[in-house]
Amino acid sequence: MKKGYIVLENGMIFEGKRFGYEADVTGELVFSTSAVGYIEALTDPCYQGQILLQTFPLTGNYGWITEDADGNSINAAGLVVREWCETPSNFRSEGTIDAEMKRQKIPGICDVDTRELTKILREQGVMNAVICDDPAKVDIAELRNYRSDKSASTFVADYSEEKSESGEARYNVTVINCGNYKNVVSKLVSMNFSVTVVPCTWKADKILSTNPDGIVISDGPGDPKDNVETVKTVADIMGKVPVFGISLGHQIMAIASGADTFKLKYGHRGGNQPVKNLKDGKVYITSQNHGYAVDEKTLPAKAVVTHKNCNDGTVEGLEYPEIKAFSVQFTPEKGFSNANTEDILYGKFAAMLSK
């Protein structure tokens, strides 16, 4: 295997070996603590423009399975791992992660001290990095000024299109697509809702013309404050119909209500993020992928904090009781050790629609 390097914006250089597509790539280096789910992570639109560092030492042991992808393609800019498995063992496997990354032209680097890299990011914060063949050619000043964030509106304009799927029309729900909507649609359709997906670039009047009984604002990539037009749209919608926001949708709703957001030092990424429900004291183990949080000190009186992150105390859930709206920072999914947050939260949304 060919030598490769990862160069950080602080000037540190790590040597490793190339796998995947052999090309230089620049992006914000972020780490995920998930032990499984590398297919879902790589294809998650929220990793758009970022180089993903896996803290779990082995990646690729169950191969590549297209059905498990969260998006239509790999969205991460690159991948950094300690070791990738050349001989996956899984009856569903369609090939190796290396072959799929080559096919989709995604660079990777392995045999890197991922533990040391993660410690650096935890202590100094996420930073820009380059996967390359020759670190001497990297301009550190240029690397520091590189910005990989992209607003959800730009992302959706580039990569998404309007679509609709129907259940048995228990309720009509419109999903505002901020970049990552597939799991939302699947869950709503399974609940026998008629679902219409619209881009986050649509204005409030056009969205409300779909005659929704309720609206869900999806997750997506980037800095929530970059989505100026979407924030205005959501501000115009909140109070007219019940609204449920997820992750980026949660942040956009908070900004639309008058609150502020800030960038986290190293974000919350992985399937083991502990979140406390302040109403009943239960702690959920949640799936998250974001680098920003709502500033609790700036919340208006009409917003009630319902959930907090057990590690850093940041806001993980909000309710707006006067206008039938609520949001969570984490992703509602099945398979948690102590609570099915997917059924709990979508059940809450359904109950809100029935009133």
Query: Which domains occur in the chain, in start order?
Result: 3-145 (3.50.30.20), 152-354 (3.40.50.880)
Q: How far is residue 7's CA from residue 140's CA, in Å, rounded to a whole number? A: 9
Is there a contact between 276 and 282 (Cβ–Cβ < 8 Å)?
yes
Band (pLDDT 50/70/90 cuts) for residue 65 is very high
Residue 109 token pair: 């680097």
Quickly list DSSP for 20-84.
ES-S-EEEEEEEE--SS-HHHHHH-GGGBTEEEEESSSEE-TT---GGG-SSSS--BSEEE-SEE
pLDDT at 202: 93
Residue 22 token pair: 């052999």
- Taking 70 as the threshold, does the pLDDT of residue 156 lie above it? no
Q: How far is residue 354's CA from residue 213's CA, in Å, rounded to a whole number? A: 9
Band (pLDDT 50/70/90 cuts) for residue 163 is low
Tens-digit pLDDT profile for residues 204-242 = 999 999 999 999 999 998 899 999 999 999 999 999 999
Q: How far is residue 211's CA from residue 197's CA, in Å, rounded to a whole number? A: 12
Q: Who's near 316: CB < 8 A, 6+ residues apart?
A: 275, 276, 286, 307, 308, 309, 328, 329, 330
Q: Tell me, rounded to whole angstroms, the distance of Cα 31 from its chain centroid.
A: 12
Residue 245 token pair: 């926001």
Band (pLDDT 50/70/90 cuts) for residue 70 is confident
- Taking 80 as the threshold, does the pLDDT of residue 148 lie above it? no
**pLDDT-wise least confident of 62-76, 128-142, 307-321:** 62-76
Residue 220 token pair: 């997506």
pLDDT at 292: 96
Q: How far is residue 179's CA from residue 323's CA, in Å, rounded to a whole number? A: 25
Which is higher by pLDDT, 345 or 161? 345
Cite the beta strand spans of 236-347 per DSSP E.
Answer: 243-246, 261-277, 283-294, 304-309, 315-320, 325-328
CA 6 vs CA 16, 28, 99, 191, 195: distances in Å: 8, 12, 21, 45, 43
Helices 228-237/248-256 angle, 10° precision: 70
Quickly list DSSP for 185-233.
HHHHHHTT-EEEEEETTS-HHHHHTT--SEEEE-B-SS-GGG-HHHHHH
Count how many Cα atoms sit within 13 Å of the Cα of residue 310 in the half-sphere of its side chain.
13
pLDDT at 182: 81
Band (pLDDT 50/70/90 cuts) for residue 338 is low
CA-wise closest residue to 55 among 247, 336, 272, 248: 272
Question: Residue range 37-51: average pLDDT?
Answer: 92
